[in-house]
Structure 1
Amino acid sequence: MTTTIRNALMIAAMAVTLGACASKGQPTAQYDFGPLPAATSTASEAASASIGAVIVADVSGPASLDTERMHYRLLYSDARQSRPYAYNQWVSTPAQLLTQRMKARLSQAGVKVLSTTDAAASATVLRMEVEDFAQNFDSATSSKGVVRLRASVFRNHRLVEQKAFSSSVSAPSADAAGGASALADASDAVAAELITWLAALPPSK
């Protein structure tokens, strides 16, 4: 058996294992980001005092994130192809999960989180756009959850600052459950960096 044929068979087996090997009638497993990690009181006090109240807009992103389906990429085979898991999905879209998580992490840090309907109550608006949210397989047994987003802060309808955030976390298992865990951890890491960044911005006048 040639190396090319052997690699092709391995890739085919990987796709079957991840996406289409479930038996007929198997129930769909649903995932979210799980409970919030513990926050330190020192970080919460610093964020609360420095950031104040923030209007958090819904996270936006590519159309591929407007679905509950879970996807993965085989970087070692074809990095341009996004493949869906057959019987695994998110409880809501990734954009919605990220919006909820970011609001929860900000609130946990003592920040007063407002919605866009409260625009008159605060001049500070946080907008986030997801650039990447994926489980990427480097090999048949190793993958990472990758989250990249761009955050922008506006005050009185003017851009104050903008920054890109990125986190990559190894998955504990080579399946949908491992991907969900890694993406949740990567999202929390981005949230922590974002809160630190917000706290360092000049206060509104």
Structure 2
Amino acid sequence: MMTSIRNGIVIAAMALTLGACASKGSPTAQYDFGPLPAAPTAAAASGGIGAIIVADVTGPAALDTERMHYRLLYADARQQQPYAYNQWTSTPLQLLTQRVKSRMAQAGVKVLSTTDAAASTTVLRMEVEDFAQNFDSATSSKGVISLRASVFRNHKLVDQKTFNRSVPAPSADAAGGARALADASDAVAADVLSWLATLPPSRE
């Protein structure tokens, strides 16, 4: 009985600490994904991808806000908690959209927006299934991303694949979560690019 009470107190204290992350006032820090890292030395060939329309990334309503969230897997894996005084500079969906576009352009792909529909019949759509900082313990967390990508040509599905990445956070706080999720996003973007390079080339 006493052990259960102590465990409950520890979990409650951890949630309060993470939720606060600052004592008062407005957000103490705003995070984005940082500068685009250098392209990998052994980057996938992108010459066969051609021009591609990249639609805005979609996902749950919780990701269409600047709030930063975490999940205590060891307490209740079904509940996400918001950091009280730390947030993203824009929504995770917007950050992911821009990161994927930037990574593809860096690799030499001609990236178009949905307003350029006349320039290409190939469309990449991505839907986020999970984007969170998950705590395995009070001192250990990971940035986790799960994303489903679909490629359409002339409104017909060419292929679809789900990508999952999990990156350890360097610290058990909002800053560590932001770094881990940025690294996970870069890894997913590289995975999507490699996958696109394996698809049959467009005949446009």
TM-score (normalizing by structure 2): 0.96
1:28 Cα offset (Å):
3.0
The aligned residue for residue 188 of structure 2 is 190
1:21 Cα offset (Å):
5.5
- Distance in 1 (alpha carbons) for counterparts of 2:195 and 2:12: 44
Secondary structure of the equivalent of 1:50?
coil
Instruction: Pick from 157, 174, 177 the counterpart of residue 176 of structure 1.
Output: 174
Deviations 1:81-140 (A, max 9, x none): 110001000000000000000000000010000000000100110000000000000000
Matched-pair identity in %:
79
The aligned residue for residue 156 of structure 1 is 154
Give the conservation status (yes or no) of the 8 Å contact 2:50–2:202.
no
Cα RMSD of the aligned pairs, angstroms, is 1.3
Residue 124 of structure 1 pairs with residue 126 of structure 2 = no
Where do 5+ consecutive residues of structure 1 fail to align? none
The aligned residue for residue 52 of structure 2 is 54
AA partner of residue 118 (structure 1):
D
Residue 67 of structure 1 pairs with residue 65 of structure 2 = yes
Deviations 1:146-180 (A, max 9, x none): 00000000000100000000000000000000000
TM-aligned CA distance change 1:103 to 1:7, over 3 Å: same
Once superposed, which parts of structure 1, at least 4 consecutive aligned residues long, lie more than 4 Å away? none
Secondary structure of the equivalent of 2:24?
coil
Count of residue pairs the alignment pairs up: 203
TM-score (normalizing by structure 1): 0.95
Moved more, 25-34 or 110-119: 25-34
Secondary structure of the equivalent of 1:98?
helix
Residue 32 of structure 1 pairs with residue 32 of structure 2 = yes
The aligned residue for residue 203 of structure 1 is 201
Secondary structure of the equivalent of 1:167?
strand
Where do 5+ consecutive residues of structure 2 fail to align? none
Instruction: Pick from 68, 75, 78 the counterpart of residue 77 of structure 1.
Output: 75
AA partner of residue 11 (structure 1):
I
